Amino acid sequence: MPEIVRPQLAQQIVDTLKTICRHDINFIDIHGRISASTDPARVGGYHVGGHEAARHDKIVAIEKDDPERDLRHGINMPIRFHGSTVAVIGITGVPEEVEKYADLAQRITLLLLREHEIDSRNYDTRTQTGYLVRALISREAVTAPFVAEVLERNGLSDRSEEWRTMIVQLQEGQEHPLAAIEAAVQDVVRRCGKCLYGYQFPNEYILLVKEREVVRWEQALRKLAGDWPGDIRIGIGSARTLTRQDLSYQAARLAIQSLEVGENFALYESMRLEILIGSISEAAASAYLQKCLAGLDEADRNLLHLYFACEMSLKKTAEKCFLHVNTVQYQLKRIRERCGLDPRRFREASLLYFALRIETMGNKKNIS
C-alpha cells in the first residue's frame, strides 16, 4: 500500500515548485484530496483530475475551468516512488504552457521525497545507505562502525572482498518520464539481489555491487540499457575495495564518456585508448585539439568520424555518405589542407582519430 506523505512535506514540495514555475501547485493524494496547495483555499478539497491521474497512473490535462466541479485548467501528473504512485502534482495554467514544467516538477518532487524518505519503517536504512554510497564514491570520511551497520542493515555484512560502482545515468532530454525510468531501475535492484543503492542529484542512480555478483548484474543492466536506449547510459567501473569506490566511480563515469553515438552501455575493462584520454589534463587536451583540429568545421569532423568508423575505407565511406569515391577523396584532401594532417596516411590519421576521441569524450564530460 502506498505510503502517506506528511502534510508538512507536501507543503514544502508545492512551495518549492511554485518558486520555479510561478504557477499555483496542488499536492493531491491518491484518493483525490488536495493535501497541500499554494492556494490555501483549495486545501482539503477533492480534485477529480488528480484522482483520475492517480487511478490510471497517467498525466491528466484539464483544458478549461469547471467552477461547478471546482476544476481549474492545468495538468495533473502522478508521482511514483519506490514502485508505486504516492501522490499527484497538479500545476494550474494553460496545459500547453505548463506542461514544460512537468519533468522538472517530477525531478524536484522525487528529490524531496528521497531526502525525507516517507516510509518510516525503512527511513533509517534508505537514508543511511544513500549517504554511505555518496560518501564512498566521493571518498568522504565515514567510520568503520557506521559502514558495518549499513552493510548489516542491507544484508551485506562481509566487506572484505572487492566491489564495483555501477552508474545508471539519465540522458539529457530523456524520452520517457523520470518516474517510469526510476521504476525500471528499481525493478532491476529488486531482481538482482543485495547491493548498496543510492541516487546522486541530478541524474545518477548509483549501485555498489560485490565483485562476485557482477556477471548477473551486468546481464540485467545490459538488458535495461537495451530497453531504454534513449533514456539512460550505463557504466560499470573497475573492481576495488569498498573504501576505494571513488576510483571505481571515476572509472564508471569514464566508461560512460567513452560511449560512441548509438551506444549506451560500457564496461571499464572494454576501454583502452579511453583510459589514456581520461588521464589527460584539460589544458593539455585543449592544446592538442588546437594543433590537430583547428580549421576543421562540423562537416569535416562528421566526415572523419564516418571515415574512421568505416576503417578508413574510401569505398565504404562513400557508400555511407551516398557520394562518389572521388568526392570523398577530394574532401579528405581539403581536410589535410585545412589542418595539416592527412587522413589517408596512417600516422597522421591516428593523430586525428585521437583528437576526435578527446573532443567527443570532453563534450560528454561537460554534459554529464
Place of cell 576510483: 247
Strand pairing category for 74-81 and 60-62: antiparallel
Residue 25 and residue 10: Cα distance in Å, rounded? 11
53 falls within a domain: yes
Q: What is the pLDDT of residue 1?
A: 38
Place of cell 576503417: 311
Q: What is the CATH number of the domain that holds 47?
A: 3.30.450.40
Last residue of a domain, one of 118, 150, 165: 118
1 falls within a domain: no
The answer to whether residues 234 and 362 belong to one domain is no
Phi, psi of 19 (to 5 degrees): -65, -20
Find how far residue 343's CA is from the centre of its chain: 36
Q: What angle do CA 113, 49, 26 make, to 5 degrees?
A: 40
2 falls within a domain: no
The answer to whether residues 130 and 238 belong to one domain is yes
236 falls within a domain: yes
Length of the chain: 368
The answer to whether residues 147 and 265 belong to one domain is yes
The answer to whether residues 31 and 89 belong to one domain is yes
Q: What is the pLDDT of residue 367?
A: 41
Q: What is the pLDDT of residue 151?
A: 92
Handedness of CA 267, 189, 165, 130 (dihedral sign): positive
Note down the domain range covering 40.
7-118
Q: What is the pLDDT of residue 365?
A: 54
Helix (H) / strand (E) containing 207 = strand 204-210
Domain count of the fold of the chain: 3
List per-residue pLDDT tens for the chain, 368 residues long.
Answer: 345 677 888 898 999 999 888 899 999 999 999 999 999 999 999 999 999 999 999 999 998 887 777 778 899 999 988 778 889 999 999 998 898 888 888 888 888 887 776 544 455 788 889 989 999 999 988 888 889 889 998 989 776 789 999 999 988 777 888 888 888 998 999 899 889 999 888 889 999 999 999 999 999 999 999 999 989 999 999 999 999 999 999 999 988 888 877 889 988 887 666 666 666 788 888 898 998 998 899 999 999 989 988 999 999 999 998 999 999 999 999 999 999 999 999 989 988 988 888 887 775 554 44
The answer to whether residues 167 and 106 belong to one domain is no
108 falls within a domain: yes
Q: What is the pLDDT of residue 298?
A: 92
The answer to whether residues 48 and 171 belong to one domain is no
The answer to whether residues 233 and 177 belong to one domain is yes
The answer to whether residues 263 and 352 belong to one domain is no
The answer to whether residues 141 and 63 belong to one domain is no
Residue 298 and residue 304: Cα distance in Å, rounded? 10
Q: What is the CATH number of the domain that holds 318?
A: 1.10.10.2840
Last residue of a domain, one of 271, 303, 322: 271
Read off the C-alpha cell for 220: 540485467
Q: How many CB atoms lie within 10 A of CB 351?
A: 19
Q: What is the pLDDT of residue 364?
A: 54
Last residue of a domain, one of 58, 84, 118: 118
186 falls within a domain: yes
Q: What is the pLDDT of residue 47?
A: 92
Whole-model pTM? 0.56
137 falls within a domain: yes
The answer to whether residues 32 and 125 belong to one domain is no
- Among 239, 242, 268, 240, residue whose Cα is nearest residue 253: 268
Q: Which value, in Å, is the radius of gyration of the alpha carbons in the chain?
A: 25
Q: What is the CATH number of the domain that holds 186?
A: 3.30.70.600
The answer to whether residues 129 and 260 belong to one domain is yes
321 falls within a domain: yes
SS3 letters for 269-286? HHCCHHHHHHCCCHHHHH
Q: What is the pLDDT of residue 2?
A: 47
Q: What is the pLDDT of residue 361?
A: 72
The answer to whether residues 140 and 264 belong to one domain is yes
